[in-house]
Structure 1
């Protein structure tokens, strides 16, 4: 399978048989070039402009939002309820964490998670091979809490997202701050190709490029 990062929290997950899943597409206000892609499935973690711009997707697709279990072809997707802040959603509402099982690899997209995970949520998420984790603070968990979440979920690979770059139009903590606290590697590409056997070939913390 392939994982491609378009910036912010938007990834394209492509299975070996060509099924395409797009996560949290953003609009032009965010600052990154808009993804120009087709998708079979689009998941949105919550209804904010930097995560739910499904109108840009070409062709027909299935839009998945909210909690529950979903199946498409041989892919399974689970939505787990969390919050967009540390006050039980009082400030910014709910957030859905999505877990995708694709080609025997489990990917977890934390969306705009705003708090440390509870033991119940960790159990519901289950085993994770690849974690897509926000690190920028302000609207999500910051780097310190992201490291706590990584230690609890124990993924083989963690890919940071939702942080300040030269393209992002609003202020968040940057990648350097996060990497100063945990050993990781910057990839000089926006896409990686994975299978069950190749997971160990990548750094445990892998920051993709978005260009």
Structure 2
């Protein structure tokens, strides 16, 4: 599996992945680590943001649109609509803060049930910040048990050291591609985009018009 963070219209499949979880669990850092391979401190997300990542899986070229949501409750109604059409959802928590793990059951799994429009959507539980092992408040076994209860994939990783970061996104993508209905959706999204590009009027650079 190879990857690129550049943008291109030359791809075979397009998938939407959504990251949810409490504020400051490292959702934005996980995305930046995956997209650019860099490790940096990220300011809290305000509302919703997204990043693009191009991957090649086998002979298929993929575009991932990865949506990053704010964990604060005041943004909850704003982000609810972004569950729509997601083929993959990552429920993230901080292994050093037990309340972020507890809230997966009390808040976030309920939000998925309420707002996710895709019954075949692939879900993954991700415990971040394993580089701070001495501060760990949630065991790997607890994470595995909750993932089993939710019917989710499971990974522990560190956005800071990049441990397992690529693996968690790549594994999620692989699983999405194994679901026929999601594979079909990914293909339809590409066809719609191509059609839209063809329908958009081509404006001349020297027409003197602005839009």
Q: TM-score, normalised by structure 2?
A: 0.40
Considering only CA atoms, is the larger Rg found in Structure 1 or Structure 2? 2
Structure ranking higher on relative contact order (CA contacts 8 Å, 6+ apart)? 2
Structure having the higher strand fraction is 1
Higher helix residue share: 2
TM-score (norm 1): 0.40
